[in-house]
Chains A and B, each alone.
Chain A
């Protein structure tokens, strides 16, 4: 049975100030297997965040439903971890306390919390910053902390909404390798939204391409490059071929999105 099932999930936002309603997401079906790493590509405004928020239980679909391990999703829960597009560390908590937020909520003993936090701080390379507050961290460090915070909670599925969107190219590459190595070690089910075609191929075993608004899944492209992967595969022929195909797919949609806006 699939880990996560999305059946006919659509979302229409009511019109703003008497305007027409916005269809953010056309009814969408998707089936995610355990340990899948799925990346979602699509032009801006095509409903990627909306889809992730519905899976997280932060937003309700206007049609359809989401099931995780056969259970209907109706509200947010610790079984679906999320890293947001914006910076969402709690400013009043240190890096370590941020990472322990979910553990504390679950009532995990302090000693165990310490161990888990130490482990993930090491994984994302922030051990030296355990007691820093978020405002003292760079954007990349904040997103790494947010990733560690989500991972520490050991969710069944990880929802990542352009977590590296605001980072420069180099940092971004490092973060991709970091996340991939963590995934290769811990084997999690991941849905990863991105604008970046290279990133989408590098990370995924399946790339979904979405159409311009209203969003719909237009293509479902398997990526069979074996693991462990490192940055060198980005120059391999198989990679280049996929990249060309996806670039074409996305280009069409981005043009359509631009036409709609005009």
Chain B
């Protein structure tokens, strides 16, 4: 028993064990980091030690108004992402449900999906300047095609027999879409949005490294000029923390919204 029986495939772990294990790796990670830097194995110029990093972080908040940088970055990510959702969700659903629409948009979306959002930055600066519109557009371009494609696939994979059951119960075309395809796909769509939001975070930082005067990315860029690895690492660390929080929030919302969903 004990050890062996915990390692059954797909067997869930108790919430407590789960929390301990999850926190455990963070502790290990910081311990290795501390050992490598404080132990003198890595030069401080390349990698600040944990103590310096968190001290730099404290100063960022108290002296440099880092909170407003975080605020503006979160605003950019969410703004671009919500725009991408507004366009991507309906289009993806329409493509998944109706094959002629998929045939029309599908190839273009597949093509556009491979265009790296960061490569658009110089062009977008030309078109939209270095203001907020440009930042939002980078996120939008980076997210929208992914959302469209993944949502179309999820909707298209709806079990045929569920749709047929609805038809024999008298469901109209509209009824099939709104009362079968959509609710059936919702949990997986929510999961997809969670993933794409993660990618949106990588685009926003790139957008802020070039032509921005605020935001977490801009702060990291600034710190590089002063070779302040502590600040740089702290900036990256904060992005991770925000990602972690949104992930947890998303998951909690999904569990709450889709109690019927067993595929977790």
Contacts and interface: CB of A to CB of B under 8 A. Distances in A.
Contacts of B259: 133
Interface stretch (A11-19, A100-108, A207-215): A100-108
A153 B165 contact: no
Nearest to B258: A92
A147 to B, nearest CB: 12
A84 interface: yes
B168 A82 contact: yes
B165 A84 contact: yes
A155 to B, nearest CB: 8
Interface in A78-98: 78, 80-82, 84, 86, 88, 90-93
A58 interface: yes
A208 to B, nearest CB: 21
A77 B170 contact: yes
Contact of B168 (A76, A92, A104, A106): A76
Given A88-B162, A88-B164, A91-B260, A78 B184 contact: no
Contacts of A80: 168
B169 A102 contact: yes
Contacts of B180: 90
Please classify the interface of chain B as helix (H, G, I), strand (E, B), loop, or mixed, using the class held by over half of its residues.
helix
B162 A90 contact: yes
Interface residues of B, number: 23
Interface stretch (B21-29, B47-55, B171-179, B206-214): B171-179
Nearest to A82: B168
A13 to B, nearest CB: 16
A105 B179 contact: yes
Indicate the member of A78, A105, A149, A150 with the most B CB atoms within 10 Å.
Answer: A105
Interface string B225-262: 00000000000000000000000000000000011111
Interface in B142-192: 159, 161-162, 164-172, 175, 179-180, 183-184, 186
Given A91-B262, A105-B175, A58 B169 contact: no
Nearest to A134: B260
Contacts of B262: 91, 135
Contacts of B186: 92
B169 A101 contact: yes
Contact of A102 (B162, B164, B170, B260): B170
A192 to B, nearest CB: 15
Contact of B167 (A58, A91, A134, A153): A58
A92 B183 contact: yes
A149 B165 CA distance: 10
Contacts of A135: 260, 262
B184 A58 contact: no
A90 B258 CA distance: 13
B161 A92 contact: no
Contacts of A90: 162, 165-166, 180, 183-184
B179 A101 contact: yes
B4 to A, nearest CB: 28
A105 B260 contact: no
Contacts of B172: 105
A56 interface: yes
Given A90-B180, A101-B179, A153 B170 contact: yes
Nearest to A90: B162
A76 B164 contact: yes
Interface of A: 56-58, 75-78, 80-82, 84, 86, 88, 90-93, 101-102, 104-106, 133-135, 146, 149-150, 153, 159
Given A88-B165, A92-B184, 11 more contacts: A76-B168, A77-B170, A78-B168, A78-B169, A84-B164, A88-B159, A92-B258, A134-B260, A135-B260, A153-B169, A159-B168
30 contacts: A56-B168, A57-B167, A57-B168, A76-B164, A76-B167, A80-B168, A81-B168, A82-B164, A82-B168, A84-B161, A86-B161, A88-B159, A88-B164, A90-B162, A90-B180, A90-B183, A91-B184, A91-B262, A92-B261, A102-B170, A102-B171, A105-B169, A105-B170, A105-B171, A133-B259, A135-B260, A135-B262, A150-B169, A153-B169, A159-B168
